[in-house]
Amino acid sequence: MTSPSIAVAAVRTTGLFHRILVPLPHVLLAIGTAFALLTPGQSDLRHLVTIGLAATTALWVLVMHTLRSPSWIARPGPMILFVGVELALAGALMVHQPIFFVFGAVGFVQAHELLPPRWGFACVVATSALVNLVPYGLPTAAEWLAVTICMMLLQIAMIGWFGYLGRRYNEQSEQRRAALAQLESAQAENAGLHAQLVAQAREAGVHDERRRMAREIHDTLAQGLTGIITQLQAADQVREQPERWQLHMDKVKSLARDSLAAARRSVAALGPPELDDARLPDAIAKLAADWSQTSGIPAQVETDGDARPLLAGIEITLFRMAQEALANVAKHSGATRVAVTLSYLDDVVLLDVRDDGTGFPLPTARGASEPAAARGGSEPSTAHGGSEPAAVSGGFGLRAIRQRLELVGGTLAIESAYGEGTALNASVPALTAATAVEAA
């Protein structure tokens, strides 16, 4: 596993400074060689030695550094060897010609750019000793020796400090690059998750819309058609009585028109027309009155508490629940009267629909508030001569109402016993538009 210092070096050797650092030894070596060869009073042999040492040094730098890849330069071992031999050659050049101290100074730069921290500090000390002591030797006077040593210490401290700052900057830059790479990776992953969530939400929306349309169709077309069938059956029984027959046929026409209008509104995702121009208590009262006229069963409607406008979805749910409950009474209960109570409390709104019909025994294994067939099962026959009422025992009606109530945070409880009638109790949060805004 690559160490952080090597990773920093690898990044450092691929930037602008690397493009400057690579030719720098050759440039300084060429400057030193030019001045050495132009120095007057040099013999040919001395020039040959200068050229030979300079060529050897240039070849070493070329082979070990210039032509190497950044991954090679980032390795500590080869670079320690390279800088060590390079400083030895620089020392030999300075012994031969002091002007080569300009080349030896390259060790100050390479110490922090090519070597690990400890080796880099050792390189700074060695380079300082070379450029200050080798060209002209140790000062003979004690005071000059002290000055030289002080200058070397100051030089080492300053170069070491700036090298430390440079190294820290490189490390922080690498950390920022790594953090940026992680951020980009996280953003890419989040984008994928977001796309997945959007797809799931779209699928859930399609599923919910299908369920909504199924509920709306049941609440409108199915109930309207049921009423039409009931009126047609009643009309068949009074064919010999034109006036009564015509009365039933008029009701059939009225139910057909109402069902068609309600179906159109369901397709447009609108609520019941009864709630357009009326408050919920008035809409339920009118619903019960129309139902009583059609079914012939008296219905009493009461409203308790401070009636106030609720969120549209909650009012639609309560209205549909009353509509479905009354339809169940007409189809299955054999009741002679019905009581509908709408109660406005502080935090909840309750809707109770009770009838005095034959009722049915509730299963006790799963609790009295949920008939088994409403959960998808079945129970033995009841007083109706068959299974439990279809809508109560798991037909789409009560399931749809229960789902509607759950969507608005409500609950549905069923109370019934053989010979004692049936009661449906719905409870929903008393949310108004104002309370919804405050909650948001």
CATH number, domain of 413, equals: 3.30.565.10
Residue 52, pLDDT > 90, answer: yes
CA–CA separation, 86 and 160 (whole Å): 20
Q: Which amino acid is at 246?
A: Q
Domain boundary residue among 137, 159, 186?
Answer: 137
When comparing pLDDT for 303 and 155, which is higher? 303
Give 205's pLDDT tier (boundaries 50, 70, 90): low
Helices (H), 115-141: 117-133
Give mean pLDDT, residues 313-339. Answer: 87
- Kindly report, residue by residue over 137-169, the tens digit of the pLDDT: 766 667 677 777 788 788 788 877 877 777 777
pLDDT band at 426 (very low <50, low <70, confident <90, very high): very high
Q: How confident is the model at residue 5 (pLDDT cuts 50, 70, 90)?
A: very low
The verdict on pTM exceeding 0.85 is no
Residue 420 has which token pair?
A: 């004692």
Residue 106 lies in a domain: yes
**153 part of a folded domain:** no
Domain that holds residue 285: 276-439
Residue 389: per-residue pLDDT:
43
Residue 424, in any domain of the structure: yes
pLDDT at position 270 is 54
**How far is Cα 273 from Cα 269, in angstroms, rounded to an integer?**
12
Q: How many domains does the chain have?
A: 2
pLDDT of residue 8: 44
Nearest to 398 by CA among 337, 326, 342: 326
Q: Does 226 reside within a domain?
A: no
Question: What pLDDT score was predicted for residue 378?
Answer: 34
Where does a domain end: 77, 105, 137?
A: 137
Element (H, E) at 389: none
pLDDT at 198 (0 to 100):
63
d(CA 281, CA 277): 12
* pLDDT for residue 36 is more than 50: yes
Distance from C-alpha of 143 to C-alpha of 385, rounded to nearest angstrom: 125
The reply to whether 194 falls in a domain is no
| Residue that has been written with the tokens 């059939």 in this structure | 252
**Residue 386 resides in a domain:** yes
Decide if pLDDT at 53 tops 90.
yes
Q: Taking 60 as the threshold, does the pLDDT of residue 349 lie above it? A: yes
pLDDT score, position 57: 92
- Is residue 197 in some structural domain? no
The residue among 137, 169, 203 that closes a domain is 137
Please calculate the CA angle 436-431-404 and round it to the nearest 5 degrees.
110
The model's pLDDT over 209-240, given as tens digits with 9 standing for 90+, comes to 677 677 767 766 777 788 888 888 888 888 88
**Opening angle at CA 333, ends 329 and 336, nearest 5:** 80
Q: Is the pLDDT at 345 greater than 60, yes or no?
A: yes
pLDDT at residue 400, as a whole number:
76
* 184 within a domain of the structure (yes/no): no
396-424 pLDDT per residue, tens: 567 777 888 888 889 999 888 888 888 99
